[in-house]
Amino acid sequence: MRRPELFTRGNLLRPCKGILLFGPPGTGKTLLAKALATEAGANFISITGSTLTSKWFGDAEKLTKALFSFASKLAPVIIFVDEVDSLLGARGGAFEHEATRRMRNEFMAAWDGLRSKDSQRILILGATNRPFDLDDAVIRRLPRRIYVDLPDAENRLKILKIFLTPENLETGFEFDKLAKETEGYSGSDLKNLCIAAAYRPVQELLQEENKDSVTNASPDLRPLSLDDFIQSKAKVSPSVAYDATTMNELRKWNEQYGEGGTRTKSPFGF
């Protein structure tokens, strides 16, 4: 995106035209897409299934063609397809409508046009929680497949510090202990946990005011303690179980198709 002159020599060194971010929900795939556009100095177009669909027959193909035409004039640009599996899912389903199939074919044809024009700085960036529902032809057009997993203890610590640094915390707040206590929480879950913990001092103040029948004009909330977060865990649990079926399918798909996977597949059999 920023150094197109580096990709003008030879036949193998060509800019990537497709990237897939996949992983469990709440891990910040959309935020990563926006951060990538900012770092690359590129414009950002976000689309979903409703962006290109219409009740009028034939409009979906026209909207798809208009999208790529607009993107070519706006380049450098990143076209972000959120929940890409809903737009470019596997073809041939029992409930697939002809209009959806035609729109999908038009999208992939326009995408191939980008791949043949290396001078156009347009990147298709998809995000999904269900990469195994994607069409095989779409997977082929997304050569970079990056697994965005749940944060480990070190990354949870960084996320918690971002959320809690501006807050009123008790002296010597144990960030490390809280990070260890939140195993399996996504970035979104951690934010919800912090919000739930921040409500506890407010609830205590309101209970005291109701008990004394006095409303303080300038209330002074106590600092947040580690116990607030431990107690809030009973209300805010991880949104995805580590050993859930979907998580196992994501890990298996990453092993077969994702970057860093072993690429091991079971042999064909009868």
What single string gives the DSSP state of each residue in 63-84?
HHHHHHHHHHHH-SEEEEEETH
* Burial zone of 182 (CB within 10 Å; 0-12 exposed, 13-18 middle, 19+ buried): buried
Question: Alpha carbon of 39 to those of 44, 71, 74, 189: distances in Å?
Answer: 12, 18, 17, 26
How confident is the model over 247-262, as pLDDT tens digits?
899 999 999 999 876 6
Three-state SS for 12? coil
The CB density around residue 6, as the number of other CB atoms within 10 Å, is: 9
How confident is the model over 39-95, as pLDDT tens digits?
999 999 999 888 888 778 888 889 999 999 999 999 899 999 999 998 888 877 655
Of 71, 162, 154, 158, nearest in space to 113 by CA: 71
Q: Are 264 and 256 in contact (CB under 8 A)?
A: yes
β-bridge partners, 46: 80
Of 228, 226, 171, 182, nearest in space to 202 by CA: 228
Q: Are 47 and 70 in contact (CB under 8 A)?
A: no
104 — pLDDT class (breaks 50, 70, 90)? confident
Domains recognised in the chain with CATH numbers:
4-150+245-257 (3.40.50.300), 153-232 (1.10.8.60)
Cα 102 to Cα 60: distance, rounded to the nearest angstrom: 8
Of 166, 189, 171, nearest in space to 240 by CA: 189
Cα 107 to Cα 48: distance, rounded to the nearest angstrom: 13
Question: Which residue type is seen at 66?
Answer: A
* Mean per-residue pLDDT, 1-12: 76
